[in-house]
Structure 1
Amino acid sequence: MNLWERYVVPPLVSCACSTKPIMKQRAKVVPRADGRVLEIGCGSGTNFDFYSHADIERLFAIDPSEGMIKRAQKKAGDLGWGDKIEFMQTGAEAVALEDNSIDTVVITFVLCSIPDWDAALREARRVLRPDGQVLFSEHGLSPDEGVAKWQRRIEPVWKPLAGGCHLTRDTGRMLTQSGFALEGMETMYLPNTPKIAGFVSWGSARVA
């Protein structure tokens, strides 16, 4: 890990992923989480504001970045989550949880940067109970070819500066290819956000 990735990327990503439009997207899905929850890529704990203390039995918050985990731990303490959150510094491609042990998997603005997204979604499917749910809100590939063309052009420069973030991943396709059935996915361009980074999709999915 170089100095940029260690010291610049964590606060940069935290700031970018907590803008007002993105926070509104998080608020659309995160409050629906319940039971035993796995949050993939917890970052600095941005979603912690939206979980319901009454509905969460246990929250497993994973992230590969030591800097992000430290920020998330402080956020959890400030919000009084106590022992309900278990932090795991690990990538989403290999999660130390038992099969069929999770009620809700939360994935928000992180699939764009996971190196092996297919392995991560396979792990999500493995740990999810048969009647469990995936709640997601992500940005990605625009359906408008003019925007998508610029996404493809800019991505090689964007990716190393933004912590491995891809602009051209298709969230719905990724979920369905990994064995999930989408439930009411919605899409839009975020207001006050460049279109190359502002096409978002959100909703829920279950094991197909």
Structure 2
Amino acid sequence: MSFYQDYILPHLINLAMRNAQLVPYRERTAAAAEGRVLEIGIGSGLNLPFYGPQVREVMGLEPSSRLIEMARGVARESPSPVTFIEGSAEAIPLERGSIDTVVTTWTLCTIPHAIPALEEMRRVLRPGGQLLFVEHGLAPEESVRKWQNRLTPFWRPIAGGCRLNRPISNLIETAGFSITALENSYVPKAPRMMGYLYQGRASP
């Protein structure tokens, strides 16, 4: 991927969705993590400041070496040890049942094959573990959905593979998870086509 796709563009998306408004979603998601945590698409480390003392270790999976280098600077201030893994969510190089919590934040929209990736997340979670997620995706209103479907073929090639119209909760359940908590809402003042959020918890 180009530097534009893996760094500039995500920041433009965050700006469009008013990055300061996303902080409470990140904070609530990361604060619920515990034990050995695997963060999918750790990016530049925006979630690292929000992990609490109940987190023993954070493992950050990220396909972009540039973003990993950026995240290393943030990791130096993390109270928990952070290990970075350069790789894809479709083939997580960890043992079955070795993770207590998987975290995804605004990540599932860009993974090329979301269901195999989610199946990999389920594989590495221990029995009783949890998937914590906050993602943007398919909206309930037909008028918004129409625009999401129309724009996604044009948006995806220039936005690092981001799909505006993924039905996040359906994908999670199709991959074998049971959703135990789910809240849906629009980010205030964000473009509705990219601002419909799925935030919740699922068990394998």
| TM-score category of the 2 structures, normalised to the smaller one | over 0.9
What is aligned with 1:98?
Answer: 95
Rounded Cα–Cα distance in structure 2 between residues aligned with 1:14 and 1:60: 22
- Matched-pair identity in %: 41
Rounded Cα–Cα distance in structure 2 between residues aligned with 1:33 and 1:65: 24
Instruction: Name which of 189, 194, 198 aligns with 1:192.
Output: 189
Q: May I ask how many residue pairs the two structures share in their alignment?
A: 201
What is aligned with 1:162?
Answer: 159
Is 1:177 matched with 2:174?
yes
Give the drift of 1:87: 0.2
Q: Which runs of 5+ in 1 are unaligned?
A: none
TM-score norm. by structure 2 comes to 0.94
What is aligned with 2:127?
Answer: 130
Rounded Cα–Cα distance in structure 2 between residues aligned with 1:80 and 1:125: 26
What is aligned with 1:56?
Answer: 55
Contact 2:49/2:78, CA 8 A, preserved across alignment: no
What is aligned with 1:111?
Answer: 108
Rounded Cα–Cα distance in structure 2 between residues aligned with 1:47 and 1:15: 18
- In structure 2, the CA distance between the partners of 1:114 and 1:8, relative to structure 1 (3 Å rule), is closer
Amino acid at match of 1:118: I
What is aligned with 1:43?
Answer: 43
Rounded Cα–Cα distance in structure 1 between residues aligned with 2:89 and 2:78: 26
Amino acid at match of 2:152: E
Rounded Cα–Cα distance in structure 2 between residues aligned with 1:206 and 1:167: 25
TM-score norm. by structure 1 comes to 0.92
- In structure 2, the CA distance between the partners of 1:100 and 1:169, relative to structure 1 (3 Å rule), is same
Cα RMSD for the two superposed structures = 1.4
Contact 2:6/2:64, CA 8 A, preserved across alignment: no
State the 4+ residue runs in structure 1 displaced beyond 6 angstroms: none
- In structure 2, the CA distance between the partners of 1:133 and 1:202, relative to structure 1 (3 Å rule), is same
